[in-house]
Amino acid sequence: MVLMKTRSLFFITALVLFAAYWLFHDLTRTSLWADEGWTIAATNSPNPITVIRDWVYEDVHPPLFFVGLSLWRVFTGDTIFAMRVYSVFITLIGVAFMYRLARLMFGERAGWVAALLFSLHDLVLVLTQEVRHYPQQQTLTILALYTYWRFWRKPTRRRGVLFIIAGSALLYSHYWGGFVLLALGLHAFITRYQHLRPYLLANLGILLTYSVWLPAIYHQITLERPGGLPHALENSWVVYKTLAYQLMGVPELFWMLLAFVGIAGTFTCIQPRKWLPTPSTLACALVVILTVGLSLLINTRYPTLSFRSLAVIIPPSILLIAHTLQQFRRQEFTVLVVFIIIQSITTTSAQPLARPPWPNIANFISLHSAHDGVLLEMNTDDLPMLYYLEHTDAPIDILSSETLRLHQPDQYATDLADFLQKHDGVWLIKFGYFEYDIRPEILAQGFVQSAPTIDYGRYADGRPIELYRYDRIPEDIIVQFGTALALTRQEVTLHDDVLTINLLWSPIATPQRNYTISTFLLTEQGLLALPNKDNYPFEGRSPTINWQAEQYYFDSHTFNIANLPSGHYRVG
């Protein structure tokens, strides 16, 4: 007994360490996308009531993950790494319990194969490396299956309470957990129809704990999303094929065949009756079949279909696959497992969503801003952009103008005018096409576009990503350089060891050549503190040969002063 426990602990530890390496690798490689930005904004407050009332209640999700993440951030901070680690730890718990669940249902070999497959699953990896609630959805699916199976084998009060806790937590993490619990209830009805009372009481306990959230569900369906989810997938063969390889892996037919065969009890030609599903395989099969079937059916009336929601079928599908594999003899089993490991590592069935270059844009604005304003014409994508801009510590002021216009139209004109009045320089980030063109409103407040539009390419769906620079028309000239150029504004600011020098030029006559701008930093003794820089205006983006007389042109230069000793310096 001691030897078995030691071996079990060894397997769990080894599998969790392997999964940890796999999940921590490149954890911050991808930037934030829109839904992650929403999650971060929703969990900014450590007060659970604020998180639920102001954010979750008005969206389409239950609250448990968001409340947990908001409390986690109190202790760990709000770096992308720290917030994604929360999901990594949740998935690692899932790996450990996947081993115990498969071992309990099908045996030792099935246990570590199931945990290994769960760790290597591409969609599990993709979802874990996001600040979203789907890893918690999958881990709690595993815990619900685990506590239910122990309760099914021996329906004691303690095991029933644990099942109630796990089932309730699953429902409070994702609504598709309801399909999992419905399937388990059907399993109890089929296999324990003569002794249903403990299972009825347990499910009644889950319903009672969840009843307080039912009004919120009604609100979310009828008021927030009466027409369904805006990005729901359609019922079509193309979508079904996509879901198959995302949820099962590639080649999807191979994995689906292993899972289907896993429904059978035991492979034997001598006793065909043993091919019938056992209670353990039936439980997994019901979760998969019922969840997929009801999801497709509901989607015909209320669009909600998503591979992320359907990820609840990954754990039971893996359990069925592990059951199939563990029935092979040792030699065949070893060959198959080695093949599966190589296949999982060398192929990809799920990729992170395409991410716009928000970190690059935020970094660029921070380097070239001196107490400027930033307008975000980005609708729902403003939240990840807000995160990156706020974490640059640059002296900037931010207004999500499109969000304000859509959600508070009565305040929009006044708030925009007040915002522009506070700034002499403004950046405009536009994601998508100008269905509503804010640019004339900026010009009407005394601004001009002072630099060429910076094109950051197009998003995966074809929407352009552009950055505009506007400056208020100055009233005076600071200094005139002969009959060629006039400097009408200069601002110097320091942040994050970067000295930013922003200039606004106005040609007196149309330039006939390309001028370079020389910037330098002098010590109190008049010596060069750093090598001077000779650059074309605005890092070459605004050559003077294209300038027109009496117009205004933005120019920006930066110095890295991290290694300069403290003291007084002059900018020239």
* pLDDT for residue 540: 87
Q: What span, in angstroms and rounded, lies between the C-alpha atoms of 489 and 243?
A: 56
Selection from 212, 128, 130, 225 nearest residue 172 by Cα = 212
pLDDT above 60 for 408:
yes
The pair of structure tokens assigned to 376 is 């975000």
Kindly indicate the confidence band of residue 267, based on its pLDDT and cuts at 50, 70 and 90: low
pLDDT, the chain, mean = 90
* pLDDT for residue 172: 97
Question: What is the average per-residue pLDDT within 305-322?
Answer: 95
pLDDT above 80 for 274:
no
Question: What is the average per-residue pLDDT within 452-464?
Answer: 92
Q: What span, in angstroms and rounded, lies between the C-alpha atoms of 314 and 247?
A: 6
**Residue 449: which residues within 8 A CB-CB, separation 6 or more?**
439, 443, 468, 469, 470
Q: What span, in angstroms and rounded, lies between the C-alpha atoms of 435 and 379?
A: 12
Would you give the distance in Å from CA 237 to the centre of its chain? 27
pLDDT above 60 for 230:
yes
Would you give the distance in Å from CA 213 to the centre of its chain? 25
The CA-atom distances, in angstroms, between 188 and each of 199, 280, 286, 323 are: 7, 11, 11, 21
User: What is this structure's pTM?
Assistant: 0.91
Between 499 and 437, residue with greater pLDDT:
437
Task: Out of 26-40, 120-134, 243-257, pick the least confident.
Answer: 243-257
SS3 of 121, please? coil
Per CATH, the number for 479-571 is: 2.60.40
Q: What span, in angstroms and rounded, lies between the C-alpha atoms of 94 and 265?
A: 25
Kindly indicate the confidence band of residue 214, based on its pLDDT and cuts at 50, 70 and 90: very high
Between 567 and 75, residue with greater pLDDT:
75
* pLDDT for residue 271: 54
pLDDT above 80 for 311:
yes
pLDDT above 60 for 114:
yes
pLDDT above 50 for 272:
yes
pLDDT above 50 for 553:
yes
pLDDT above 70 for 255:
yes
The one-letter code for the residue type at 496 is D
Is the omega angle on the peptide bond into residue 357 within 30 degrees of 0, that is, cis?
A: no
Cα torsion through 64, 68, 70, 74, rounded to 10: 160
Question: What is the average per-residue pLDDT within 536-540?
Answer: 88
* pLDDT for residue 562: 79
Determine what percent of the chain is predicted with pLDDT higher than 70: 97
Q: What span, in angstroms and rounded, lies between the C-alpha atoms of 279 and 286?
A: 10
At 480-525, the pLDDT tens digits run 888 888 899 999 888 878 888 899 999 998 888 888 888 887 777 7
* pLDDT for residue 269: 47
Helix (H) or strand (E) holding 74: helix 64-76
Q: Could you give phi then psi for residue 501, rounded to 5 degrees? A: -120, 110
Q: Strand 396-399 relative to strand 425-431: parallel, antiparallel, unpaired?
A: unpaired
Buried-state track 31-54, b at ≥16 Cβ within 10 A, e below 16: bbbbbbbbbbbbbeeeebeebbee
Residue with tokens 């980030």: 429
Kindly indicate the confidence band of residue 528, based on its pLDDT and cuts at 50, 70 and 90: confident
pLDDT above 90 for 475:
no
Contacts 24+ apart (CB under 8 A), 8-15: 8/103, 8/108, 11/99, 11/108, 11/111, 11/112, 11/115, 12/96, 12/99, 12/100, 12/115, 15/95, 15/96, 15/99, 15/112, 15/115, 15/116, 15/119
Q: Could you give phi then psi for residue 406, rounded to 5 degrees? A: -75, -35
User: Is 440 exposed, middle or buried (CB count within 10 Å of its CB: 0-12, 13-18, 19+)?
Assistant: exposed
The one-letter code for the residue type at 89 is F
* pLDDT for residue 175: 96
* pLDDT for residue 316: 97
Question: What is the average per-residue pLDDT within 319-339?
Answer: 89
**Residue 237: which residues within 8 A CB-CB, separation 6 or more?**
none
Question: What is the average per-residue pLDDT within 89-118?
Answer: 94
Between 524 and 296, residue with greater pLDDT:
296
Question: What is the average per-residue pLDDT within 163-167?
Answer: 97
* pLDDT for residue 143: 98
Between 271 and 142, residue with greater pLDDT:
142
* pLDDT for residue 552: 94
* pLDDT for residue 415: 95
Question: What is the average per-residue pLDDT within 166-179?
Answer: 97
